Structure formats: C-alpha cells, structure tokens
Amino acid sequence: MRRVAITGLGVVGPCGTGREAFWAGLIGPAPDDERRVHDWDPTPYFPNPKEARRADRFTQFAIAAAAEAAETAGALNADPGRIGTLIGTGIGGIGTNEEQIVIQHVKGSRRVSPFLVPMMMPNAAAAAVSMRHGFQGPCEATVTACAAGTHSIGNAMRMVADGRCDVVFAGGSEAAFTPTALAGFGNMTALSTRGISVPFDARRDGFMMGEGAAVLVLEEWDRAVQRGATIIGEMLGAASTADAHHITAPAPGGSGAVRSMELAMEDAGLGPGDIVHINAHGTSTPLNDAAEAHAMAKVFGEPGPIVTSTKGITGHALGAAGALEAAAVVLAIEHELIPQTAGYEQPDPELPSIDLVVGEPRSWTPGPSMSNSFGFGGHNGTIIIGPGQ
C-alpha cells in the first residue's frame, strides 16, 4: 500500500472563501445570521458568463474550491488518466431543480431549461471539475447524505493507496438553501427552532443549515516528495459502515459510529491512544450528539482525545460537511491550533465527559486526527489525517 499525501486544499465556506479566510472564520466568533456563503460571485471562476449560468450553485462552489486546491498543490506533472475526481454531495443541484419545477408549473413544460438535467444531477460538480482541468481518471460522485464528503475523501485515499491513481481531487459540495429543502428539514424537526448551532450543548434543538465546498488534493507520497510539493497532511486511514437501523435516527449508543471509528484506526494501524484530536460530526441535534458522545466514550474512554465541532461556525453543510471538516483538520495541523466549539455554554448532564474545546481555540501538538460524518440512511464515515512530516 502506498502512502497518501495531502498536497492541496481549497475551500468555499459560510465563514470565508479561500483557505485563509475560512480558517480566520473558524477561530472567530459564531455568525449571528444564516450559515450561507454570502455575496457569492462565481464570475472569477468562469471566463464565460454563460458557463456560470449553466452551473448550479453547488457546482460553482466545487469549481472554486478545486481551483484553489490545484493552485496550492502546484504543478502535478501527472498523467491525466491517473488523476481522479471524487466530489460528493447530499442533494446536488436542488436549487436548479426547484426553480425549474416552478417554471414548469407556471409557464409550461416547453419553458423548462434544456440544462435542467446536467445542472441538477449530483455528479455535475465532479464532472465539471474533471472537464475544467482535463482529469481523465475515475470521476465519481458519492451521494451518502451527510457522510458524502468524508466518504469521497476516504474512497480517494484508497484509489491512491491501491495504485489506481497518482492524484485525486476529493471533497464535497452542497448548496441546499431552497424554500422546499428548508421546509422539508424544518417539518421533520431537524432544524433548530431557535436558529442556534450549539453542538453537545444542553440547549441544542436541531442543526442550522450550511453550504459550501472543500476539495483536497491527495497524492502518492513519493511522487509528491520527488516533485518538491509542500505536503500539508497525510491520509492515514478511512472506514465506512451502516447503522442498518433507521432512515434518520442514529443507532442506539452510536454502535455504527463505534464500528466506523474502530475500523478507521485498524486501517491506519493505530489504537485509541494514538488519536490526539477528533473533529466530531456534532450537528447540534439531540440524538446525533448524544449517540456520537457515547460512541467516542466507548472507543476512547472519558474524556478521550481533544474534541471540537466546527458546525458551531459553519452550520451543517450536509454532503459538504465532511469535506469542510477535513479541511478544518488540515488547517488545525498547519496552525497548531484547534478551533473552539462555538456556541457551547451549557454542559449536558446526560452526555459522557468529552474533552471539548470551548470558549477559545486551543494550542496543541498535532498528531493523528479523526474526522467523523454520519448521514441520514445510517451512513457512517471516518477518516484519519496526520501531519505532513
């Protein structure tokens, strides 16, 4: 098995677009409004304005994140047939879909855009990135709800480690702030009725919707060294499991999450004592946070590794969440600082003790770090990232 380096990173987030702006947002105060990508302008990433109009917002985000990732990775000098593109999503082009359904209903079927299908399809972002850069290796879209970004990165790691690809652009993208999507999540009582994102806090009552994209460049370690790339992290392990329990609720006690974390450590050749930091899924929903806290306590004991949930800042970006959180782990390693769990104020006496970063960011000595994602349908994903030395 080949070692897998992380050599590039690009981010479009509700707390900042570009890796440095995103990082500044993560360690700053929680926003007091919706976790949208405000004032988004796609035109710098699309030389032809028509091309931008023919790309759904989630595809625009992915194009922008991949552009920054490519720039930070530098000259890859790789065979295009051995460069893959894996961009996950939970919902895909729902904005375009919803807009065109209204047009069909009001104006008739002949007014529906001929670009509806290529704009709404979940694989549109991956396809657009591969075409933009000429990547001819595997081009795939993982659609596993809120675990999609994490699964994409884990699957990309396998492609590089197994020798199928030398480089893979991997991540997730989501733009689901539409009236119908918000109504659906709200009516199923998944959203916070108070408009707060407070992971693991006793006041949590649902998630706040987020959006954005993050793309990592994963590369075979030796070729990255040979071309003089700056290695910003290393993929150490990954795992995927299913709860096989309920379409939305996690398995009792987080049993699926336990297996996912244990398998990821086995894949990395690590034990519980080797994990220094966990970026938790931590959605701010009553059931998820309880299941995850109990799962971490079962795997690592109490209080276990340093834990944070960056969703206090970003909200829950669904299929992009795991990619944004992988980016947060890479940046935490780079800056030797773990972001705080923004919004946390009141401990929940029903939860086991975890070493949650609260109040302000915490300095640390970077080491193997875990990022968890758990999606509707019982999808669990875990990746482990280490420093790039």
3-state secondary structure of 259: helix
Q: What integer is the mean pLDDT of 279-287?
A: 96
Residue 389 has pLDDT above 80, yes or no: no
Percent of the chain residues topping a pLDDT of 70: 100
Which residue matches tokens 């990173």? 9
Pick 47 or 56 by higher pLDDT: 56
pLDDT of residue 32: 85
Q: List the one residue out of 124, 119, 126 whose CA is nearest residue 96.
A: 119
Q: Which of 203, 264, 258 is nearest to 239 (CA)?
A: 264
Q: Give me the pLDDT at residue 1, please.
A: 85
The single-letter code of the amino acid at 113 is S
As a whole number of Å, the CA-based R_g of the chain is: 19
Any idea which residue has 């050749």 for tokens?
269
Residue 189 confidence (pLDDT) = 94
Mean pLDDT of 103-116: 95
- pLDDT bucket at 248, cuts 50 / 70 / 90: confident
Domains detected in the chain:
4-386 (3.40.47.10)
Q: Of all helices (H) and strands (E), which one includes residue 5?
A: strand 4-13
Average pLDDT over residues 83-107: 97
pLDDT for position 252: 85
Please list the active-site residues: 146, 281, 316
| Cα–Cα distance for residue pair 144/326, rounded to 1 Å | 16
* pLDDT over 90 (residue 149): yes
pLDDT at residue 371 above 80? yes
Report yes or no on whether pTM surpasses 0.95: yes
pLDDT at 87 > cutoff 90: yes
- Preceding peptide of 303 cis, ω within 30°: yes
Checking if the pLDDT of 188 tops 90, the result is yes
pLDDT at residue 33, rounded to an integer: 87
The torsion defined by the Cα of 143, 385, 342 and 316, in degrees rounded to 10, comes to 0
Neighbours of 73 (CB within 10 A): 25
- Give me the pLDDT at residue 308, please: 98
pLDDT at 101 over 90: yes
Task: Please list, in sequence order, all residues whose beta carbon lies within 8 angstroms of the beta carbon of residue 204, skipping any fewer than 6 positions away.
Answer: 192, 196, 198, 284, 285, 286, 289, 348
Q: Assign 365 a pLDDT band (cuts: 50, 70, 90).
A: very high
The amino acid sitting at 96 is: T
Instruction: Determine the pLDDT at residue 298.
Output: 97
